[in-house]
Amino acid sequence: MTTEISDLEKMASQVRRDIIKMVYECQSGHPGGSLGCADYLVALYFRVMKHNPEFNMDGAGEDLFFLSNGHISPVFYSVLARAGYFDVAELKTFRKLNSRLQGHPTTHEHLPGIRIASGSLGQGMSVAIGAALTKKINKDNGIVFSLHGDGELQEGQNWEAAMFAPFNKVDNLICTVDVNGQQIDGPTSKVLDLMNLEAKFLAFGWDVMHTDGNNMKELVATLEEAKSKTGNGKPIMILMKTEMGKGVDFMEGSHKWHGIAPNAEQLAEAFTQLEETFGDF
Amino acid sequence: MKKYTYTEKKDTRSGFGAGLLEAGRKNENIVALCADLIGSLKMGDFQKEFPDRFVQVGIAEANMIGIAAGMTIGGKIPFTGTFANFSTGRVYDQIRQSVAYSDKNVKICASHAGLTLGEDGATHQILEDIGMMKMLPGMTVINPCDYNQTKAATLAIAEHEGPVYLRFGRPVIPVFTPADQKFEIGKAWMVNEGTDVTIIATGHLVWEAILAGEKLAEEGINAEIINIHTIKPLDEEAILNSVKKTGCIVTCEEHNRYGGLGESVAQLLATQLPTPQEFIAVNDTFGESGTPADLMKKYGLDSSNIIEATKKVMKRK
């Protein structure tokens, strides 16, 4: 799929509107991290990944994506719907009773596009490694992508996975950490400092890249470069700098919007800042 | 009364190892993962024959469960292997979210369950694993009684779609079930028919129940003995039919009395057919170092305890 950067930016604006509206309508959810990662997920699903919205669990021959920090489900759901996995109108059921759009993503309700439940943090890197190993055994050229929060790296299982992947040459894997520097109780630097993530992953044996996750052109270039580096014996780790709440000025850069919903006035204010490009749900 | 004999004693974990190898030969989608206990889990033959389908994860059980869940995507059937303690309590949340809630076709295979791993002591002697696993929606829980049944169960779970917890152990115990048996998940196995009391047992306590049944027969007590190798889903029909006949029941397991087979049976009977029940189980305590035989005796799990419980429960009819 070749989509111009300007088209991707337009889609990201619509996805951000979706996120705000979804969280507003159920008065719960996690807008901050979702807004910050909108560009990344749009880049993956509308440009970088080879994937089929006619979903099947095994995804043979496709690139796969796993969301480890499941609380940013609004951005995942919006992008899946906009990419054709399910009807955009279903976004209005988010977090409501009898919905396939659970608070955190799950396979349990058979929502197309979801391949694993996430929400309890720190499990996605292991799952992504497993899917990548199966692709290797099956001689499937697809690449496995995954996204992780920076605060999430405080969970120990990540480091078990981080040790495993380079030693076992899982080189069809591109993990990305959303480095927004925020977590529920405050800045990561104050809660439990992650210190030098680049040095940590380099020491574990990863190929480490950096990108600005809110600059579509740079982000796409980084992801394309990462793809070109697969198959070289090392897993790839992209440290992606983003701003929590990106796109809505009063939400930007603060952990305060990690897990709360806007009121009607804030929704209206946010909508004035985000262009409606593909029609609201 | 059917007489049970044996010509050899073997560990159930070796039954798992043999079953895994055979399952691997039958189905190329079967993969195995181990957390630094290949010898203890008897996974070496599989590793040797299928090196490309074997994953050594190191001492990192959480990662092992996550990788196994991921490997199902693309059609693999992962069998994970480590001790029962590290297969359950250590990775409960990983199993809950990435396997059970995600409905992944992962087989969690757990050796060294219960007290009878022996000298290593309580840190390794998990007595809560059946409880934790049976509480997970969709999880099948199996605890076979000897080498042959463990091998047959391993082959059966390979063909079963959905998450399974398979529990086995370290001690060398009599092999008394047929080598060519067909293992039916969720189907109780009638050991001996009787009329005075129902004794149901799981795991290697089935052999203790057989020994108890022989002694009871000498005293004129005709015990019905049933092997419940599948704790979930429980064969409710077999249990209800038996207690309708006998009017009392003893449940036997190498597990805490809370959370185990006895508790599942009590819930069934309380709602369907209230029946006097006695529990052969560990009485809400941790274990300790010792030989398997000494531990079975001290914690009240051997045939003499079953005989005592039988006499007690018969008086409560």
The alpha-carbon gap from A100 to the nearest alpha carbon of chain B, in Å, equals 14
Measured distance CA(A76)–CA(A40) in Å, rounded: 10
Instruction: Please list the ranges in chain B whose pLDDT falls under 50.
Output: none
Interface touch A131/B63, C-beta < 8 Å: no
The one-letter amino acid code at A148 reads: H
Q: In this structure, are B202 and B311 located in the same domain? A: yes
The residue from B124, B146, B174 where one domain ends is B174
Reduced to 3 states (helix: H, G, I; strand: E, B; else coil), residue A124 is helix
Q: Is the Cβ–Cβ distance between A19 and A62 less than 8 Å?
A: no
Interface test with A, best of B29, B82, B102, B104 (most A CBs within 10 A): B102
- Other CB atoms closer than 10 Å to residue B2's CB: what's the count? 10
Question: What CATH number should be reported for the domain holding residue B207?
Answer: 3.40.50.920
The alpha-carbon gap from B127 to the nearest alpha carbon of chain A, in Å, equals 25
**Nearest residue on chain B to A142, judged by CA atoms?**
B74
H-helix or E-strand spanning residue A15 = helix A5-26
Q: In this structure, are B62 and B203 located in the same domain? A: no
Beta strands B77-83 and B107-111: pairing type?
Answer: parallel
* A36 Cβ contact list (under 8 Å, min separation 6): A178, A180, A213, A214, A242, A243, A244, A245, A246
The alpha-carbon gap from A219 to the nearest alpha carbon of chain B, in Å, equals 26
The residue from B133, B150, B174 where one domain ends is B174
The CA distances from residue B147 to A17, A79, B12, B33, in Å, are: 60, 51, 4, 21
What percent of chain A has pLDDT above 90? 96
Question: What CATH number should be reported for the domain holding residue B92?
Answer: 3.40.50.970
Q: SS3 letters for chain B?
A: CCCCCCCCEEEHHHHHHHHHHHHHHHCCCEEEEECCCHHHHCCHHHHHHCHHHEEECCCCHHHHHHHHHHHCCCCCEEEEEEEHHHHCHHHHHHHHHHHHHCCCCCEEEEECCCHHHCCCCCCCCCCCHHHHHHCCCCCEEECCCCHHHHHHHHHHHHCCCCCEEEECCCCEEECCCCCCCCCCCCCCEEEECCCCEEEEECCCHHHHHHHHHHHHHHCCCCEEEEECCEEECCCHHHHHHHHHHHCCEEEEEEEECCCCHHHHHHHHHHHHCCCCEEEEEECCCCCCCCCHHHHHHHCCCCHHHHHHHHHHHHHCC
Tokens linked to B126: 């998990």
Interface touch A120/B72, C-beta < 8 Å: no
Whether B5 maps to a domain, the answer reads: no
Q: For residue A161, give the nearest of B52, B63, B71 by CB distance.
A: B63
- Other CB atoms closer than 10 Å to residue B289's CB: what's the count? 14
Q: In this structure, are B121 and B59 located in the same domain? A: yes
Interface touch B70/A156, C-beta < 8 Å: no
The alpha-carbon gap from B39 to the nearest alpha carbon of chain A, in Å, equals 21
Does the annotation mark B214 as catalytic? Answer: no
**Nearest residue on chain B to A161, judged by CA atoms?**
B63
Host domain of residue B309: 189-315
Q: What is the ipTM of this complex?
A: 0.97
Per-residue pLDDT, B206 = 98
Q: What is the mean pLDDT of residues A33-50?
A: 98
Q: What are phi and psi of B44, to 5 degrees?
A: -65, -35
Reduced to 3 states (helix: H, G, I; strand: E, B; else coil), residue A239 is strand
**Nearest residue on chain A to B97, judged by CA atoms?**
A117
The alpha-carbon gap from B95 to the nearest alpha carbon of chain A, in Å, equals 10
The answer to whether the Cα torsion of A12, A14, A17, A21 is positive or negative is: negative
The DSSP output letter for A256 is G
**Vertex B220: Cα angle to B216 and B223 (nearest 5):** 50
Closest CA to B309 of B193, B191, B195, B199: B199
Interface touch B69/A130, C-beta < 8 Å: yes
Per-residue pLDDT, B1 = 84
Tokens linked to B317: 């009819």
Instruction: Judge if pTM exceeds 0.90.
Output: yes
Interface touch B71/A123, C-beta < 8 Å: no
Measured distance CA(B216)–CA(B214) in Å, rounded: 5
Whether B3 maps to a domain, the answer reads: no
Interface touch B101/A131, C-beta < 8 Å: no
- Other CB atoms closer than 10 Å to residue B59's CB: what's the count? 12
Q: Which residues of A44-62 are buried (b: 16+ CB within 10 A; e: fewer)?
A: bbbbbbebeeebebbbeeb
Whether B183 maps to a domain, the answer reads: no
Whether B184 maps to a domain, the answer reads: no
Q: In this structure, are B80 and B39 located in the same domain? A: yes
Q: What is the average pLDDT score of chain A?
A: 97
Q: For residue A60, give the nearest of B57, B65, B74 by CB distance.
A: B74
Measured distance CA(A221)–CA(B209) in Å, rounded: 68
Q: In this structure, are B308 and B228 located in the same domain? A: yes
Closest CA to A217 of A54, A33, A12: A12
Per-residue pLDDT, A256 = 87
Q: For residue A129, give the nearest of B53, B70, B104 by CB distance.
A: B70
Whether B35 maps to a domain, the answer reads: yes
Q: In this structure, are B78 and B35 located in the same domain? A: yes
Whether B204 maps to a domain, the answer reads: yes
Please count the helices (runs of H) and the strands (runs of E) in chain A: 10, 7
The residue from B147, B174, B201 where one domain ends is B174
Q: For residue B73, give the nearest of A108, A115, A157 by CB distance.
A: A115
The alpha-carbon gap from B210 to the nearest alpha carbon of chain A, in Å, equals 43
Per-residue pLDDT, B199 = 98
Q: What is the mean pLDDT of residues A58-71?
A: 98
Q: What are phi and psi of B127, to 5 degrees?
A: -125, 15
**Nearest residue on chain B to A139, judged by CA atoms?**
B74
State the distance between the two ends of chain B, measured CA to CA, in whole angstroms. 23
Which residues on chain B are in Cβ contact (under 8 Å) with A123?
A: 62, 66, 93-94, 97-98
* Chain A residues contacting B via beta carbons under 8 Å: 57-60, 64, 66, 106-108, 115-120, 122-135, 137-138, 140, 156-157, 160-161, 163-164, 168
Q: Is the Cβ–Cβ distance between A43 and A216 less than 8 Å?
A: yes
Per-residue pLDDT, A2 = 62
Q: In this structure, are B199 and B159 located in the same domain? A: no
Q: How far is CA B104 from the centre of its chain?
A: 21
Measured distance CA(B195)–CA(B138) in Å, rounded: 34
Interface touch B58/A130, C-beta < 8 Å: no
The DSSP output letter for A255 is G
Which residues on chain B are in Cβ contact (under 8 Å) with A125?
A: 66
**Nearest residue on chain A to B59, judged by CA atoms?**
A160
Q: In this structure, are B198 and B94 located in the same domain? A: no
Q: For residue B52, give the nearest of A107, A120, A137 by CB distance.
A: A137
Interface touch A107/B53, C-beta < 8 Å: no
**Nearest residue on chain A to B69, judged by CA atoms?**
A127
Q: Is the Cβ–Cβ distance between B106 and B99 less than 8 Å?
A: yes
- Set out the domains of chain A in order of their start, with CATH numbers: 5-273 (3.40.50.970)
Q: For residue A119, give the nearest of B66, B73, B97 by CB distance.
A: B97
Interface test with B, best of A157, A169, A173 (most B CBs within 10 A): A157
H-helix or E-strand spanning residue A163 = helix A157-167
The alpha-carbon gap from A240 to the nearest alpha carbon of chain B, in Å, equals 24
Q: What are phi and psi of B206, to 5 degrees?
A: -60, -40
Please report which confidence band the pLDDT of residue A254 belongs to, taking 50, 70 and 90 as the band edges.
confident
Measured distance CA(B226)–CA(B197) in Å, rounded: 11
What is the tally of structural domains in chain B?
2
The DSSP output letter for A205 is T
Q: In this structure, are B211 and B266 located in the same domain? A: yes
Q: What are phi and psi of B163, to 5 degrees?
A: -70, 140
Which residues on chain B are in Cβ contact (under 8 Å) with A108?
A: 101-103
Q: In this structure, are B167 and B202 located in the same domain? A: no
Interface touch B67/A133, C-beta < 8 Å: yes
H-helix or E-strand spanning residue A146 = strand A144-149
Of the candidates B61, B208, B224, B263, the residue annotated as catalytic is: B61
Q: Which residues of B241-276 are buried (b: 16+ CB within 10 A; e: fewer)?
A: bbbeebbbbbbbbbbbbebbbbbbbbebbeeeeebb
Closest CA to A99 of B154, A265, B44, A108: A108
Q: In this structure, are B154 and B202 located in the same domain? A: no
Asked if pLDDT for residue A118 goes beyond 60, the answer is: yes
* A273 Cβ contact list (under 8 Å, min separation 6): A247, A248, A249
Measured distance CA(B256)–CA(B258) in Å, rounded: 5
Q: In this structure, are B164 and B75 located in the same domain? A: yes
